[in-house]
């Protein structure tokens, strides 16, 4: 069916039938920017993803869904505001990637996962391999043939950290269990289909939308729909999968739409077409400079919702705070803040009894700076950014108290279970002697 559609699509292009546009509900807040054909790319452009360690390096699928599929790489050029404006040179071969489709993403350890169509497999390319070091058969764990979209759910979203796959053919979304092996690749050890998450239209790729973004009030995901020639927005279930009943067309008229990824530096959405071999950018016009990210709080079982957070934007050399902003986490540990600053900064985060954490080189420009994530160590009961005897005294004075009782001190409830007891002293001991950024 897809190969037939490709042939029909070529006829449509020859007839000048391209009419990609923002859906009416989004047209006032977003615009489409053609980046053009990728120089040096052999054709069959599908999957697309940024290098997580280099914001100017793109990986691109070539000869999509063919046995001679490949992965190419190309650098991008940016303007003074950090927006992508073109290509830097020509695309070069990165590795073989037989049957590569639209799904492409990096694991937390740097392994590049890609969807194989129509073989229903998960290819894995390691940083030093020139082809897939492992190809996992997905039918063996109950995943319907054949997959399309692949994505790890980012921090700050429901289902954060889990791997999601979507069947291009059936539209079913899956939660997938993986286990790293001795070679650094992964075994797929199980899957569960998400009840009520069947998205028709041929899911080729997916990108989670940072909050807040124009016209997005709830955690959402954008899904490329090859068969419908569109990209649609879906609100998320508690599992981090799309809710079909919330579908809203985002972009229409995208013949051959396949890959999708977000530019972490600006929040721009990049889309690929298998038929035109072009990349199109979807850009939000009304978004100020915004920082979004997620927080992991160590040794804490309480609710994350509405916890106050202090974010400081600092000089990268001196560490001096230039701007300090306050907000609250959502229930998934995500935050978003607007700033009038532009440039490269050190960003720090502090919450009540956790030690401050830092990201040392954050580029802030117009649009949204994505994925500024932090992991905070616990135990700072007096809030001075050091875990020492002074924090022990705070816990000792509140020992045995419960929320609402005499002597209660929220700062002493390190693990968030609503009481101050032995478990809180164990948290203190774990981080004793440590200091924050």
Q: Which whole number is the average pLDDT over 285-301?
A: 83
Is residue 38 one of the residues assigned to a domain? yes
Neighbouring CB atoms inside 10 A of 108's CB total: 10
User: What's the structural domain count of the chain?
Assistant: 3
pLDDT, position 344: 84
Of 49-58, 313-322, 362-371, where does mean pLDDT reach its minimum?
362-371
Can you read off the two tokens belonging to residue 402?
Answer: 């419960």
pLDDT band at 144 (very low <50, low <70, confident <90, very high): confident
Q: In whole angstroms, what is the distance from residue 68 CA to residue 99 CA?
A: 7
User: 371 and 406 share a domain?
Assistant: no
Residues near 91 by beta carbon (within 8 Å), at least 6 away in sequence: 38, 39, 40, 41, 60, 72, 73, 74
User: 245 and 316 share a domain?
Assistant: no
User: 334 and 248 share a domain?
Assistant: no
User: 44 and 124 share a domain?
Assistant: yes
User: 82 and 103 share a domain?
Assistant: yes
> Would you give the distance in Å from CA 312 to the centre of its chain?
23
Q: Which whole number is the average pLDDT over 408-433?
A: 94
Q: What is the pLDDT of residues 377-389, one digit of tens each?
A: 999 999 999 999 9
pLDDT, position 232: 97
Q: 40: domain CATH number?
A: 2.120.10
Burial (Cβ within 10 Å: 0-12, 13-18, ≥19) of residue 3? exposed
Residue 72 has pLDDT above 90, yes or no: yes
Is residue 381 one of the residues assigned to a domain? no
pLDDT band at 47 (very low <50, low <70, confident <90, very high): very high
Domain boundary among 284, 301, 322: 284
User: 191 and 301 share a domain?
Assistant: no
User: 14 and 116 share a domain?
Assistant: yes
User: 298 and 419 share a domain?
Assistant: no
User: 275 and 321 share a domain?
Assistant: no
Domain boundary among 259, 284, 309: 284
Range of the domain at 412: 386-437
Q: Which whole number is the average pLDDT over 324-329?
A: 93
User: 103 and 148 share a domain?
Assistant: yes
Is residue 367 one of the residues assigned to a domain? yes
User: 192 and 124 share a domain?
Assistant: yes
Q: In whole angstroms, what is the distance from residue 45 CA to residue 66 CA?
A: 11
Residue 174 has pLDDT above 50, yes or no: yes
Range among 278-287, 336-345, 387-396 with highest mean pLDDT value? 387-396
376: Cα within 13 Å, side-chain hemisphere:
30
Partners of 356 in the β-ladder: none
Domain boundary among 238, 258, 284: 284
């Amino acid at each position: 069916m897809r190969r037939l559609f490709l042939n029909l699509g070529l006829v449509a292009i020859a007839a000048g039938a391209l009419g990609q546009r923002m859906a009416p509900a989004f047209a006032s807040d977003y615009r489409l920017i053609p980046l053009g054909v990728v120089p040096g790319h052999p054709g069959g452009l599908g999957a697309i993803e940024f290098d997580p360690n280099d914001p100017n390096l793109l990986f691109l699928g070539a000869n999509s869904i063919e046995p001679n599929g490949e992965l190419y790489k190309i650098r991008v050029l940016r303007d003074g505001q950090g927006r992508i404006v073109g290509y830097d040179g020509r695309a070069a071969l990165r590795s073989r990637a037989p049957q590569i489709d639209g799904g492409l993403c990096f694991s937390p350890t740097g392994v590049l996962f890609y969807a194989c169509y129509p073989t229903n497999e998960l290819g894995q390319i390691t940083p030093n391999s020139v082809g897939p070091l492992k190809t996992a058969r997905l039918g063996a764990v109950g995943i319907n043939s054949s997959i399309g979209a692949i994505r790890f759910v980012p921090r700050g979203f429901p289902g954060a950290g889990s791997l999601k796959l979507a069947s291009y053919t059936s539209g079913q979304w899956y939660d997938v269990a993986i286990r790293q092996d001795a070679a650094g690749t992964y075994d797929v050890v199980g899957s569960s289909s998400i009840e009520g998450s069947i998205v028709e239209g041929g899911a080729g790729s997916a990108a989670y939308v940072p909050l807040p973004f124009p016209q997005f009030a709830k955690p959402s995901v954008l899904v490329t729909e090859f068969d419908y020639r569109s990209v649609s927005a879906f609100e998320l279930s508690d599992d981090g999968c799309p809710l079909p009943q919330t579908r809203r067309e985002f972009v229409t008229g995208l013949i051959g739409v396949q890959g999708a990824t977000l530019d972490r530096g600006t929040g721009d959405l990049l889309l690929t077409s298998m038929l035109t071999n072009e990349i199109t950018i979807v850009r939000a016009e009304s978004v100020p400079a915004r920082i979004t990210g997620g927080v992991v709080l160590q040794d804490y079982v309480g609710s994350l919702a509405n916890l106050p957070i202090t974010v400081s934007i600092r000089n990268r050399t001196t560490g001096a705070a230039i701007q300090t902003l306050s907000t609250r986490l959502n229930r998934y540990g995500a935050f978003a803040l607007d700033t009038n600053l532009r440039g490269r900064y050190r960003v720090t985060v502090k919450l009540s009894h956790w030690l401050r954490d830092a990201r040392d080189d954050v580029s802030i420009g117009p649009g949204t700076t994505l994925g500024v994530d932090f992991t905070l160590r616990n135990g700072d009961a007096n809030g001075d950014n050091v875990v020492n005897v002074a924090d022990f005294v705070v816990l000792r004075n509140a020992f045995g108290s419960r929320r609402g009782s005499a002597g209660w001190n929220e700062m002493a409830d390190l693990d968030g279970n609503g009481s101050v007891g032995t478990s809180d002293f164990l948290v203190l001991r774990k981080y004793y002697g440590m200091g924050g950024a």
